[in-house]
Amino acid sequence: MFRMRGRAVLDSRVQTVTTKKVDVALLGATGSVGQRYVRMLSRHPYFNLRVVVSRSSVGRRYGEAVRWMIEGRVPDEVAEMKIESINSESIKECKLVFSALPSEAALEAETRLAGEGLMVVSEASAHRMDEDVPLLIPEVNPDHLRLVELQKRRRGWEDGGAIVTTPNCTAVGLDMVLAPLLKVAPVSAIVVNTMQAVSGAGYLGVPSMSILENVIPFVKDEEEKVVRESYKILGRLEGERLVPAFLPMAVSCNRVPTLDGHMESVLVEYKDDVEVEDCVKSLATFEGEPQKLRLPTSPARPIVVRSEQDRPQPRLDRMEGTVPGMSVVVGRVRRGWGKNTVQMTLLSHNTVRGAAGGAILTAELMHAKGLF
């Protein structure tokens, strides 16, 4: 009846895991992304959410303090947890920290916690561009996790702590789609136009007076981030040096009155002619380590290609996939102006695949690789 496949798959996997769960702290637990973490970590086979941290409500019960904005209710076991401060000693009893902090707060706190021996998986932008910090999409650049060794050595973090980051929510959907498209043939230019949901800016980020019956053709710093981060994600490791992928790329970001799900209209110009069918095939068959390792939060298909003429649509398709919200949905794959250009529309759930879900999948990959 109600979206069962994701959980069904998950449950069957649960039974194969017998090792002790990893204790986890969650920074920024009451925000809209924090809520997605709480939901997705509930009954997780590897991770046990033990500490919830939020600046504004230290000492209160999570269930009371949170303004729950997503489907369903606060999981019972989390509702009863007391909210801790960022300086709480109990964070140190965890091995893994998920950080959904604002960027300024993240800069100092994440470095401190990593230095104290914790593995920090962060979706804040603070450390994304540090040259010794992986910026990870598990299906796209899992090998970049090797930067963790460099990081520990350079920063003298001997207790085993490190920072791993996940990309900007708009870059995630784009780069998951570019990865298989770049395999088809050499690309000469990329043009992206986004139509982004309000949840991307956080609960207070977009006042209703701004966005009701309106479009705002601007998202602060977003266009620069998408280009810069894509270069890093799609780049390759040469030894311990990450060589960015330089691709002519032009991005226009717009905010539209949707709640969740970033739509992106993408044109890819190839250096030579390509077949649209080859692009569709490369997208539809794309998979990566998470699928091979059957990680709990990995969708059966990272990219779902739709053939209807009017899909994807944010409200109808953002929860697509065997793990709802973890698949990028691509539709309207078609010719651009000539035989060397291809156009399409993609949809990616910005607070699931683009935030909490992407970070959890990253941590699952790290777990599978024995990083903690």
Q: What angle do CA 350, 315, 174 make, to 5 degrees?
A: 35
**Would you give the end-to-end CA distance of the chain in angstroms?**
38
CA proximity to 132, closest of 117, 113, 118, 111: 111
Residue (302 or 324) nearer to its own copies, CB = 324
Residue (95 or 311) nearer to its own copies, CB = 311
Residue (71 or 275) nearer to its own copies, CB = 71
Indicate which residue of 44, 94, 144, 169 is catalytic.
169
Q: Which helix (H) or strand (E) holds 315?
A: helix 314-317
Residue (154 or 220) nearer to its own copies, CB = 220
Residue (191 or 276) nearer to its own copies, CB = 191
Residue (12 or 214) nearer to its own copies, CB = 214
What dihedral do alpha carbons 199, 331, 296, 369 form, nearest 10°?
A: -100
C-alpha 247/C-alpha 345 separation (Å) is: 19
Beta bridge partners of 214: none
* DSSP type of residue 81: P
Q: Which helix (H) or strand (E) holds 165?
A: strand 162-165
Residues lying near its own copies in the complex (CB under 8 A) are found at 1-4, 6-7, 10, 32, 39-40, 42-43, 68-69, 71-72, 189, 191, 193, 195, 198-199, 203-218, 248-250, 252, 254, 256-259, 263, 265, 267, 309-316, 319, 324, 331-332, 336-338, 341, 343, 345
Q: Minimum Å distance from CB 66 to its own copies?
A: 12
Residue (225 or 311) nearer to its own copies, CB = 311
Catalytic residue at 262? yes
For 251, list phi and psi in degrees, rounded to 5.
-125, 135
CA proximity to 228, closest of 240, 246, 201, 241: 246
* DSSP type of residue 40: H
Supply 82's token pair: 């007391």
What dihedral do alpha carbons 132, 137, 138, 140 form, nearest 10°?
A: -100
Residue 189, classified by CB atoms within 10 Å of its CB into exposed (0-12), middle (13-18) or buried (19+), is middle
Q: Minimum Å distance from CB 68 to its own copies?
A: 8
Catalytic residue at 169? yes
Q: If you compute the radius of gyration of the chain from its CA atoms, what whole number of angstroms results?
A: 20
Q: Minimum Å distance from CB 118 to its own copies?
A: 25
Q: Minimum Å distance from CB 366 to its own copies?
A: 21
Place of tokens 């990450």: 242
Indicate which residue of 127, 144, 262, 367 is catalytic.
262
CA proximity to 97, closest of 74, 113, 76, 115: 113
Give the number of other CB atoms < 10 A from CB of residue 108.
12
Q: Minimum Å distance from CB 227 to its own copies?
A: 8
Beta bridge partners of 22: 47
Supply 192's token pair: 């992206």
C-alpha 139/C-alpha 329 separation (Å) is: 15
Residue (132 or 320) nearer to its own copies, CB = 320
* Residues with catalytic roles: 169, 262
